[in-house]
């Protein structure tokens, strides 16, 4: 009797199908990680822009004027749009600074930050 050892064509096809499914899952996981990294980078850069805007408002005046303003800034090779609103607080010597940062023409803010400035906060 001549018995050959080895895999049948059906077994090879099933093994290839399992490997293909596993590779698809790995590619999908890698894609999700890349998207997560890009979103994290966007939020980090937007946070830096917001911190810069708050700091600039504090440096320009120890007691920033009330009202809204907006502007543009380029950080990390990307164009950012920011909106700043300075509001009064219960303490007449302190102002609240709220900043929202948008990537390009996006309508959803990538980051927001609130800070305070005023004569009562000076050393």
* pLDDT tens sequence across 17-41: 999 999 999 999 998 888 888 889 9
Express each pLDDT in 35-82 by its tens digit. 888 889 999 999 999 999 999 999 988 889 999 999 999 999 999 999
CATH hierarchy code of domain 9-121: 3.30.1300.30
Q: What kind and span of H or E run contains 123?
A: none
Q: Is the pTM value of this prediction over 0.75?
A: no
Q: Domains of the chain: which residue ranges?
A: 9-121
């Amino acid at each position: 009797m001549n018995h050959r050892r080895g895999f049948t064509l059906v077994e090879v096809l099933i093994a290839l199908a399992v490997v293909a499914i596993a590779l698809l899952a790995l590619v999908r996981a890698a894609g999700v990680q890349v998207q997560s990294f890009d979103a994290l980078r966007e939020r980090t850069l937007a946070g830096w822009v917001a911190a810069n805007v708050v700091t600039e408002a504090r440096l320009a005046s120890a007691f920033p004027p009330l009202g809204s303003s907006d502007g543009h800034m380029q950080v990390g090779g990307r164009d950012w749009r920011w909106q700043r609103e300075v509001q009064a607080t219960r303490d007449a010597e302190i102002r609240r600074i709220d900043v929202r940062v948008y990537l390009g023409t996006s309508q959803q803010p990538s980051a927001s930050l609130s800070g305070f400035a005023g004569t009562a906060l000076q050393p």
